[in-house]
Amino acid sequence: MDHPVAEFAPSLPPRATAPLRRARSAGRGARREGLRRVVLGAYLIALLLPIYWLINMSLKSNVEITSGLTLWPHHPVLDHYRYIFTDPAWYGGFLHSITYVVLNTVISVTIALPAAYAFNRYRFLGDKHLFFWLLSNLMAPPAVYAMPFFNLYSAVGLFDTVWAVALAHCLFNVPLAVWILEGFIAGVPREIDETAAIDGYSFPRFFIRIFLPLIANGIGVTAFFCFMFSWVEQLLATTLTTVNAKPIVSVMTRTYSSAGMDWGLLAAAGVLTMIPGAVVIWFVRNHIARGFALGRV
Amino acid sequence: MARITLDGIAHAYRAVPRGDADYALKPLHHVWEHGLAYALLGPSGCGKTTLLNIISGLLIPTEGRLLFDERDVTLLPTEQRNIAQVFQFPVIYDTMTVAENLAFPLKNRRMERRAIAARVAEIGEMLGLTAEMGRRARGLTADARQKVSLGRGLVRPDVSAVLFDEPLTVIDPALKWELRSKLKIVHRTLDLLMIYVTHDQVEALTFADRVVVMNDGRVLQIGTPTELFERPDHTFVGYFIGSPGMNLLPAQVMGRHARVDGHVLDLGATYPASPPGGRVQLGVRPEYATLAAGDGIPVQVRRVEDLGRRRLARVALGPHELVATLPPGLSIAGSEAVLQVEPPNLHVYVDDRRVEGIAA
Amino acid sequence: MNDKAWNNRAWFFVLPVLAFVLFSSLIPMMTVVNYSVQDTMGQNHFFWNGAGWFQNLLDPTTDIGGRFARAIVRNFVFSAAILAIEIPLGILVALSLPRRGWAVGPTLVIIALPMLIPWNVVGTIWQIFARQDIGLLGAVVNKIGIHYNDTEDPVSAWATIVVMDVWHWTSMVALLCYAGLKAIPDAYYQAARIDAARRWSVFLNIELPKLRKVLIIAVLLRFMESFMIYTEPMVVTGGGPGEATSFMSLDLVKIALGQVDLGNAAAYSLIYNLITLTVCWIFFTTMTQLEARKGA
C-alpha cells in the first residue's frame, strides 16, 4: 500500500479502520432542509389540487356530479372522454388547435431567426426603434386587436381558417421569438462568424450548417415558448373562427351556453388540453431553466 | 493554534468507495506547522481543493480526523473554526462598502463596535485599502476586490490559518506581483499559517516555505522549493517542477553503474538491486545535463532552442529523447554532440519512486 | 456591444419580421385610429368626429367615461394585488426548489404546468373549483363558516380571481428567480459560512442583490400581463357580479364586439394601448440600462 512521505510524528495512536462517515450538515442545516421541503410540498399540492379536482370531475358521471360532493369518483366512467374522441366537433377542435399552434411556431421561429441574427450582429438604420416597436407588440393587449383583426382577416378572406389564428398569434410570438433568440445568439462569439467567412463559407451555408446547430437548444426553448403562448391564447382564437376552424377553446365555450352545464364533458376536455403542454414541458425540462435564465420570459 | 494535523484523512465522493479510483483524496497523514507558508501544488483535479475544503470545514471527510492542536475538529462547523479562506474569484458583498465588507464577519460574531472599527482600519491599512474604505464594493477593480476578500478573512483576530484557493487567477499579470508581496507582508506581520493552493509552480516556489506536491489525490512530496528541485522523490514531482521538467530515461541499474541504451553511466553511489519487474528510470534535470566538448555520452542533436538567457538542446540518446543545456560559448557542428552528467544530480527511480543510493 | 458592424444589408434579414409586424399591428392599428376619429350613422357612412370619442371617454361624468375610469382603477388595483403576492411567493418558492438531483426535472414540470394550460381551461378549473355545490374550494370554505359565493358576492369574486392568477402565474416568477439563483457561484455561500452569516443575512446580502435584474423583469412582465387579463375572469365571473370584475379588456371586448360601438371601442383601444406602451417603454429603457451597466 503506497503511503506518501510522512512528516507525521507518531505520537498519536494508530487507527483502526475508520468507519465511513457521510458528510453531514450541522443541525441547523437539517432543519433548514426540512423547512424547504415543507414549503415546496405545500406549493406543489396547492398547484396540483385544482388540477386533480378537474380530473376527478372528468371521470364522474353527470349524475354523480350533481348528486353531491365526492372526493374521488365512486363510480368512475370514461363516457366523457369517449364522447370527445368520437364527436367530430370535439376532436376536430383539438386538431384545429394543434394545427394552428404548430403553424404559428414554425412561422414565428423561421422569420425570427434572421431578424434576431441581424439585431445582434449588426447596427443598421433604425435598429433600436424597430426593436422597441417589436417589443411593444409583445405587450399588446389582445383585446385591442380583436376587432381590427376581425375586420382584417375577413377582408383578406382568411376568416375562419387555422391560418388566421396562426398568423394572428404572430403578433406576440414573433417579437418573443426574436427576443429570446437574440439572447441565445448573443452567446455565440462573433469570431465564429468571422472564421467561417475566412474559411470561405457562403453566408447561407454558414448559417445553416454551422450557426444553427450552435443555437439548437435556443431554438428549442424559443419553440417551446411560442408553442406555450399560442396554445393558451383564447380571445383571438375564438374571435377569428366560427365554424370551420373552431379551436378546442371555442368548442369548450359551447358547453357554457347550453341549459344544463355539462361539467363532466367540460372537465374531460380541460384535462385533454393539458396533455400537449405537459408533454412539451417534459421534453424541454432540462432547458427550461436556461430559457428563464436569459430573463426574457 | 500551533498546528493542524491530518490524521488518516481521506475523502470519497461515492457512498461506498470500491477502490482507489473512487477516492478524491487518498489516506493522508500530515502536520502543518504554525507560522509557515505552505503551497499546495498540483495539476487540476489532484485533490488540492478537496483538501482545502476539508481543513476549512466546507467539506467533511469520509475518513480520518482533523486536529487543531490536540482538538478534534473534524465535525466542527466552519463558522466555529478560526480559519479564513480566499477563493479563486473575489467574493465580496456588492451592496456594502469596503469598510462594511471588512466588518461583516466581526459583526456576525457580535464584536464590540469600536473594536470592529479599529480592527478594520488596521487590516485596511495593511492591505493598502485605506483610500477606498468608504467606496461601494461594486465598482472596484479585480485586485482591489481580491484584497477585500483577503481582508475579510484576516479581520478576525482569532484567525490563525488562512487558506487560499488559487486566489490570483483573475488578477492581471502585472498586478500579481503586487498582491503576492502583500501576502508576504501579511504573513510576516500576522504570523499565520498559510496554505496556498495553486497549479502554477512559479507561484508556489516563490511564495512558500514548504511546497506540498499532490497528484491524483495523493501527496507525493513535501519540502522546500530547493529540495523539490534538487531531489524529487517522485517522477511526477520531477516532471511537474522545473521548466522544462526532469528527463526520464529507462535504464538498468547495477551497483554503481547504470546502463542506458548500451552506454554506461557512473551513478556516484551504490544502489541495491531493483526488484524484478519494477520499472527503473534515471532522472536528470536539463539544468544538469550539459552538452560539452570532450568525453561523454554521444547523442544526436535534434533541435536547439535559444531562450536568450540559456539555450536548450533537444537531443536523442538512441531511441530516448531528452532535453539538455547548451552552455554559452559552445557551438554544435552537425548533429552529433557529447552529453555530460554529474553523478550527484542523477537520480534513480523504481516504479516512479526515488531510491536512495549508498554513497561510496 | 458597440463593436457591431454597421450594415444596412441587415434590413433584408428583418424584412419578413417587419412585414409581419406591419400586417399584424400597424394596419389594424390604422383602422382603429380611423374609427376613433369618425362616427357613423349606419350604412357605412362615416363622418369626422375629431376628438369627440376621446373627450367622451376621458370625461368621468359621461356614461362611458365613468365606466372607463372605474375599469382602469380595477386594473391597477388588481395588478398591485397580484404583484404583492406573486413576487414574494415566487422568491420563496424559488428558494425552496431543489438545485441538484433527480427531483429537479419532475418538480420543474409540475411547477410549469399551470402556465401551459389554455387560459379558458384555467378559468374553467377555477369556475368549477370555486362553486359551492361541486367545487372543493367553495364547499370547504363555506363549511368552515366563511360566506363565499363568487357569482353573487363581489369580494368573493375578486378573491377568486386573485387566487386564480396567483395559482396561474407565480410559477413564472419562481422560475425566473430560480434561474437567477442557480447562477450564483457556490463560493459566495461558502464565504458566507466562513463569515458566520445567518440565513437571513445570506438572503439579503447575496441572493437578493443578484436577483435584482430578474425581479425587475418579473415585476414588469407580470404587471403587463395582468393589465391585459381577459380570458380567465371572463370564464369565471363574466365580469360580474354586475361590474365588479370588469377589467379593461373585458369592457373593451364588450363594447367592440358585443355592442359593436366602433367609435368608443376604438378610442378605448388607443388609450389602453397607450398605457401599455408607456409601461413597455419603461421596461425597455430599464432593461437596456441594466445591460449597459452589466457590461461595464
Structural domains of chain A sorted by starting position, each given as residue range(s) with its CATH number in brackets: 41-77 (no CATH), 91-293 (1.10.3720.10)
Closest-CA residue of chain C to B55: C194
Note the pLDDT of residue A24.
45
Return residues 12-31 of B near A (CB < 8 Å).
15-17, 26-31
Q: Decide if C5 is inside a domain.
A: no
Return residues 33-62 of B near A (CB < 8 Å).
59-62
Q: Is A20–B63 a contact, with Cβ atoms under 8 angstroms apart?
A: yes
Q: Is B93–C190 a contact, with Cβ atoms under 8 angstroms apart?
A: no
**Cα radius of gyration rounded to whole Å, chain A:** 28
Note the pLDDT of residue A294.
61
Question: Which grid coordinates are listed for A42?
Answer: 405545500
Interface check for A133 against chain C (CB to CB < 8 A): the answer is yes
Nearest-CA neighbor of B240 among B283, B273, B301, B289? B283
Q: Is A9–B31 a contact, with Cβ atoms under 8 angstroms apart?
A: yes
Question: Which grid coordinates are listed for C37?
Answer: 376619429
Q: Is A7–B222 a contact, with Cβ atoms under 8 angstroms apart?
A: yes
Q: C-alpha dihedral over A85, A89, A94, A95, to 10 degrees?
A: 100
Q: Decide if C97 is inside a domain.
A: yes
Note the pLDDT of residue A141.
82
Report the sign of the C-alpha dihedral through residues A282, A287, A290, A291, in that order. Answer: negative
**Cα radius of gyration rounded to whole Å, chain B:** 25
Q: Is A6–B15 a contact, with Cβ atoms under 8 angstroms apart?
A: no
Long-range Cβ contacts of B229-235 (<8 Å, 24+ apart):
B229/B205, B229/B285, B230/B345, B231/B347, B231/B354, B232/B283, B232/B347, B232/B354, B233/A5, B233/B353, B233/B354, B234/B349, B234/B352, B234/B353, B234/B354, B235/B281, B235/B283, B235/B349, B235/B352
pLDDT in tens, C149-186: 777 888 888 999 999 999 999 998 998 888 888 888 88
Q: Decide if C286 is inside a domain.
A: yes
- β-strand partners of B222: B212
The whole-angstrom distance between A11's CA and the closest CA on chain B is: 11
pLDDT band at A255 (very low <50, low <70, confident <90, very high): low
Interface check for B222 against chain A (CB to CB < 8 A): the answer is yes
Type of residue numbered A174: V
- Does the pLDDT value for residue C284 go beyond 80? no
Instruction: Tell me which residue has cell 553511489.
Output: B269
Write out the residues of chain B at the interface with chain C, using a CB-CB cutoff of 8 A: 53, 56-58, 77-79, 83-85, 87-89, 91, 93-96, 104-105, 108-109, 149, 152-153
| Interface test with chain A among C4, C7, C25, by most A beta carbons within 10 Å | C25
Q: Which residues of B touch C195 (CB under 8 A)?
A: 79, 104-105, 108, 152
Note the pLDDT of residue A108.
93
Q: Please count the other Cβ atoms lying within 10 Å of the Cβ belonging to residue B225.
A: 19
What does the alpha-carbon distance between residue C29 and residue B307 come to, in Å, rounded to a whole number? 73
What does the alpha-carbon distance between residue B71 and residue A250 come to, in Å, rounded to a whole number? 74
Mean per-residue pLDDT over chain A, rounded: 80
Q: How far apart are the first and last CA of chain C?
A: 11
Instruction: Pick A101 or A138 by higher pLDDT.
Output: A101
pLDDT band at C1 (very low <50, low <70, confident <90, very high): very low
pLDDT in tens, C51-66: 777 877 888 777 888 8
pLDDT in tens, C20-30: 878 878 888 88
Q: Is A24–B221 a contact, with Cβ atoms under 8 angstroms apart?
A: no
Q: Please count the other Cβ atoms lying within 10 Å of the Cβ belonging to residue A28.
A: 12
Domains in chain C, number: 1
CATH code for position C75: 1.10.3720.10
Q: For every residue of C197-236, which 3-state class applies, written as one string?
A: CCHHHHHHHHHHHHCHHHHHHHHHHHHHHHHCCCHHHHHH
| Interface test with chain C among A39, A61, A96, A144, by most C beta carbons within 10 Å | A144
- β-strand partners of B340: B290
pLDDT band at A289 (very low <50, low <70, confident <90, very high): low
Q: Decide if C140 is inside a domain.
A: yes
Q: Is C124–A54 a contact, with Cβ atoms under 8 angstroms apart?
A: yes
Note the pLDDT of residue A224.
87
Type of residue numbered B221: Q
Choose among B26, B63, B77: nearest Cβ to A18: B63
Report the sign of the C-alpha dihedral through residues B231, B235, B236, B242, in that order. Answer: positive
- β-strand partners of B289: B341
pLDDT in tens, B109-155: 888 889 899 989 988 888 888 888 888 888 888 888 888 988 888 88
The whole-angstrom distance between B126's CA and the closest CA on chain A is: 33
Q: Which residues contact C140 (CB under 8 A, 6 or more apart)?
A: none
Note the pLDDT of residue A184.
84
Residue A47, helix vs strand vs coil? helix
The set of chains that have 3 or more CB pairs under 8 A with C is A, B
Cis before C28 (ω within 30): no
Closest-CA residue of chain A to B33: A7
Note the pLDDT of residue A22.
45
Q: Is A21–B221 a contact, with Cβ atoms under 8 angstroms apart?
A: no
What does the alpha-carbon distance between residue A63 and residue A84 come to, in Å, rounded to a whole number? 18
pLDDT in tens, C231-245: 888 888 888 788 888
Q: Decide if C246 is inside a domain.
A: yes
Type of residue numbered A41: G
- Does the pLDDT value for residue A182 go beyond 90? no
What does the alpha-carbon distance between residue B45 and residue B53 come to, in Å, rounded to a whole number? 14
**Cα radius of gyration rounded to whole Å, chain C:** 24
Q: Is B60–A9 a contact, with Cβ atoms under 8 angstroms apart?
A: no
Choose among A2, A5, A23: nearest Cβ to B222: A5
- Does the pLDDT value for residue C43 go beyond 80? no
pLDDT in tens, B218-276: 889 999 989 998 889 999 999 888 888 899 988 888 888 888 888 888 888 888 877 77
Nearest-CA neighbor of C168 among C227, C93, C111, C224? C111
Q: Which residues of C touch A143 (CB under 8 A)?
A: 228, 230, 248-250, 252-253, 256, 269, 272
Residue C223: which domain range? 69-295
pLDDT in tens, B35-74: 889 999 988 888 888 899 899 888 888 888 998 888 888 8
What does the alpha-carbon distance between residue A56 and residue C197 come to, in Å, rounded to a whole number? 48
Q: Is C32–A148 a contact, with Cβ atoms under 8 angstroms apart?
A: yes
Q: Which residues contact B108 (CB under 8 A, 6 or more apart)?
A: C195, C196, C197, C198, C201
Interface check for A288 against chain C (CB to CB < 8 A): the answer is yes
Contact A232, A183 (CB under 8 A): no
What does the alpha-carbon distance between residue A294 and residue A31 come to, in Å, rounded to a whole number? 33
Kind of pairing, strands B353-355 and B71-72?
unpaired
Q: Which residues contact B45 (CB under 8 A, 6 or more apart)?
A: B216
What are the backbone angles phi and psi of residue C152, rounded to the nearest 5°? -115, -25
Return residues 184-223 of A near C (CB < 8 Å).
none
What does the alpha-carbon distance between residue B94 and residue B116 come to, in Å, rounded to a whole number? 20
- Does the pLDDT value for residue A4 go beyond 60? no
Closest-CA residue of chain A to B4: A8
Instruction: Pick C89 or C141 by higher pLDDT.
Output: C89
Q: Is A21–B60 a contact, with Cβ atoms under 8 angstroms apart?
A: yes
Return residues 17-56 of A near B (CB < 8 Å).
18, 20-24, 26
Instruction: Tell me which residue has cell 376604438.
Output: C266
- Does the pLDDT value for residue C145 go beyond 50? yes
Q: Is C193–B104 a contact, with Cβ atoms under 8 angstroms apart?
A: no
Q: What was the ipTM of the complex prediction?
A: 0.83
Q: Which residues contact C286 (CB under 8 A, 6 or more apart)?
A: C216, C220
The rounded percent of chain A whose pLDDT value lies above 90 is 14
Note the pLDDT of residue B360.
61
Q: Please count the other Cβ atoms lying within 10 Å of the Cβ belonging to residue C199.
A: 13
Report the sign of the C-alpha dihedral through residues B216, B218, B224, B227, in that order. Answer: negative
What does the alpha-carbon distance between residue C285 and residue C293 come to, in Å, rounded to a whole number? 12
Note the pLDDT of residue C295.
45
pTM (predicted TM-score): 0.79
Note the pLDDT of residue C19.
85
Closest-CA residue of chain B to C206: B93
The whole-angstrom distance between B248's CA and the closest CA on chain A is: 21
Q: Which residues of A touch B19 (CB under 8 A)?
A: none
User: Which CATH number fits the domain B3-240, given the four candidates 2.60.40.10, 1.10.10.10, 3.40.50.300, 3.90.180.10?
Assistant: 3.40.50.300
Interface check for A6 against chain B (CB to CB < 8 A): the answer is yes
Report the sign of the C-alpha dihedral through residues C240, C243, C249, C255, in that order. Answer: positive
Domain range summary for chain B, segments of one domain joined by +: 3-240, 247-359
Instruction: Tell me which residue has cell 461558502.
Output: C190
Q: Is C4–A118 a contact, with Cβ atoms under 8 angstroms apart?
A: no
Q: Decide if C153 is inside a domain.
A: yes
If you ran DSSP here, which 8-state letter would residue B62 be given?
Answer: S
Mean per-residue pLDDT over chain C, rounded: 83
- Does the pLDDT value for residue A47 go beyond 90? yes
Nearest-CA neighbor of B163 among B187, B186, B197, B188? B197
Q: Is A289–C175 a contact, with Cβ atoms under 8 angstroms apart?
A: yes
Q: Is B15–A23 a contact, with Cβ atoms under 8 angstroms apart?
A: no
B247-359: what CATH class? mainly beta
Instruction: Tell me which residue has cell 373593451.
Output: C252
- Does the pLDDT value for residue A29 go beyond 70? no
pLDDT band at C79 (very low <50, low <70, confident <90, very high): very high
Nearest-CA neighbor of A171 among C23, B272, B218? C23
Question: Which grid coordinates are listed for B311?
Answer: 539555450
Choose among B87, B89, B108: nearest Cβ to C196: B108
Q: Which residues of C touch B58 (CB under 8 A)?
A: 190, 193-194
| Interface test with chain A among B60, B72, B218, B224, by most A beta carbons within 10 Å | B60
Q: Decide if C20 is inside a domain.
A: no
Mean predicted confidence (pLDDT) in A62-90: 82
Choose among B85, B91, B152: nearest Cβ to C188: B91
Choose among C190, C197, C206: nearest Cβ to B108: C197
